[in-house]
Amino acid sequence: MRRLVCPTAAPLLALLLALLLGSGCYDVQTPISYLCSPDHPSCPAGRHCSPAGVCVLAGHDGAVHDGEAGAQGDADAGPRCGDKLKNGAEQCDDTDLGGDSCESLCFGAGKLRCTKSCAYDTSGCALPGWVTIPKGTFFMGSPKDEPCRSTNDQALHKVTLTRAFEMQATEVTQKQFKALMSYNPSYHSIHGDDLPVDQVTWHAAAAFCNALSAQAGLTPCYVALGSGKACTPPDHLPCPADESCLASGCAKLEAAAAYQGQAIYGCPGYRLPCEAEWEQAYRAGGTSALYTGAITSCFGEDPRASAIGWYNYNVAQAGHWPLRPQRVATRQPNQRCLFDLAGNLWEWCHDGYAAPTSATQPSTDPVGPKASNYRVVRGGGFSDPPHRMRAGYRTGVPPAYQHAKHGFRCVRTR
């Protein structure tokens, strides 16, 4: 059922929200909107970017033609949602799905349905699993003239990854984390187990990837060190400041001896993505700030950011106050069928964080410094402005730091 909600708050707060975010109601069942830019096409496989800026199936142009509802001279002057014929900019109409299915929209198997507002209802589709990212060369970082560029951005430089890898198509969900680790650390656990798991430290994320490896009979990429002091996860208070409370007790993880430095790319088990892998996966062959095209607003509303991820503007407009993460895979995926790389939760990367330099030399299979006191996080979160959702935005966080905006996804070298 569709339900319209309006942000509610104390009078002064409501006024501030209205000034910052605008007023009005928002459809909390807003479907994935397949937006794109003809100059920066970023549609899933099997689709192309129409002149109208909508990802459409091959053979369609996304426009309204003679004989279709909304054509010139039509008394209704717009597509007739409810006439059981997909036309114009409608995603679907009743049982007419325009040839689409759960799989063609980047989901797993299931039943795709159409809402009364002629938009896809993917609630009957299974979450997607893993996506293979091919090896290759891409440009990492951001150009000096990119709007909203940060001093944390790396200089634009060529990077070559010599191994293909597979990446989880969504952030790890609370359900997935609890099933494998037997606890749920999430601050937002009351909102449903199909939300991404949050409040995860780097050590806990690495431990999850190790558990995936054990489940699959693969060599783990990380080893647990530290005090081993007894604790009950996710309560980190009994642990030393640089450790996390895991099922085995207080510990801190690092790459196993055989997989230190660049050798991490050769680990056969599951692990966190190297920063270069994460950015290559996000860009999916593109070079723009967002995978839907150029960014148009550093703060406030950015339509291209709203299409691909959850950030402070559209979360507030959806009526979720205090701001919180949303269900995974409810925004538009990139060309490789990866969801939520922009927004929702910051994602831990394997690398130690290093401050950016002006170096533009090419590099191959790069990895951050082991000695760093920080680990890289990428993608921005549900309470951040859109400029932090850019492909080139990066920052560093202590690996034992626990925050409700931090999540992750795992990868594995192919």
Domain ranges of the chain: 130-413
**Cβ pair 101, 86 in contact under 8 A:** no
Q: What is the pLDDT of residues 255-271, one digit of tens each?
A: 999 999 999 999 999 99
The pLDDT value recorded for residue 57 is 59
When pLDDT is cut at 50, 70 and 90, the band that residue 56 belongs to is: low
Q: Can you count the helices (H) and strands (E) in the chain? A: 6, 20
| 131: helix, strand or coil | strand
Asked whether residue 371 carries a pLDDT value surpassing 80, the answer given is yes
The pair phi, psi for residue 352, each rounded to 5°, is: -70, 145
Q: How many CB atoms lie within 10 A of CB 178?
A: 16
pLDDT > 90 in the chain, percent:
78
Domain range 130-413, its CATH number among 3.90.1580.10, 2.60.40.3880, 3.30.70.890, 3.30.1300.10: 3.90.1580.10
Asked whether residue 369 carries a pLDDT value surpassing 90, the answer given is yes
Asked whether residue 69 carries a pLDDT value surpassing 70, the answer given is no
The pLDDT value recorded for residue 80 is 84
The per-residue pLDDT of the chain, averaged, comes to 86
Lowest mean pLDDT among 24-33, 223-232, 277-286, 365-374: 24-33
The pLDDT value recorded for residue 387 is 98
| Section 392-402 average pLDDT | 97
**Cβ pair 295, 287 in contact under 8 A:** no
| Section 226-244 average pLDDT | 94
Asked whether residue 348 carries a pLDDT value surpassing 70, the answer given is yes
When pLDDT is cut at 50, 70 and 90, the band that residue 47 belongs to is: low
Asked whether residue 24 carries a pLDDT value surpassing 90, the answer given is no
**Cβ pair 68, 87 in contact under 8 A:** yes
The pLDDT value recorded for residue 357 is 87
Asked whether residue 42 carries a pLDDT value surpassing 70, the answer given is no
| Section 372-391 average pLDDT | 98
| Section 19-33 average pLDDT | 37
**Which amino acid does the sequence have at 192?**
G
When pLDDT is cut at 50, 70 and 90, the band that residue 55 belongs to is: low
**Cβ pair 409, 170 in contact under 8 A:** yes
Q: What is the pLDDT of residues 315-333, one digit of tens each?
A: 999 999 899 999 999 999 9
The pLDDT value recorded for residue 54 is 58
The pLDDT value recorded for residue 251 is 97
Say which residue the tokens 């000034």 belong to.
19
When pLDDT is cut at 50, 70 and 90, the band that residue 88 belongs to is: confident
The angle that helices 174-181 and 202-216 make with each other, rounded to 10 degrees, is 70
Q: How far apart are CA 32 and CA 130, in angstroms?
A: 20
| Section 53-74 average pLDDT | 44
| Section 327-355 average pLDDT | 97
Q: How far apart are CA 362 and CA 253, in angstroms?
A: 30
**Cβ pair 52, 63 in contact under 8 A:** yes
pLDDT > 70 in the chain, percent:
81
The pLDDT value recorded for residue 48 is 67
Lowest mean pLDDT among 34-43, 89-98, 144-153: 34-43
Burial of 296 (0-12, 13-18, 19+ CB in 10 A): middle
| Section 31-38 average pLDDT | 53
When pLDDT is cut at 50, 70 and 90, the band that residue 51 belongs to is: low
Q: How far apart are CA 180 and CA 189, in angstroms?
A: 16
When pLDDT is cut at 50, 70 and 90, the band that residue 44 belongs to is: low
When pLDDT is cut at 50, 70 and 90, the band that residue 196 belongs to is: very high
Q: Which residues pair with 137 in a beta bridge?
A: 160
Q: How far apart are CA 177 and CA 185, in angstroms?
A: 9
Q: How far apart are CA 64 and CA 260, in angstroms?
A: 56
The pLDDT value recorded for residue 17 is 41
**Which amino acid does the sequence have at 197?**
V
Sign of CA dihedral 369, 355, 412, 201: positive
38 or 271, which is more confident = 271
* CA proximity to 271, closest of 165, 363, 152: 165
* CA proximity to 314, closest of 406, 386, 379: 386
Q: What is the pLDDT of residues 105-130, one digit of tens each?
A: 999 999 999 999 999 999 999 999 99
**Cβ pair 295, 302 in contact under 8 A:** yes
Q: Which residues pair with 249 in a beta bridge?
A: 246
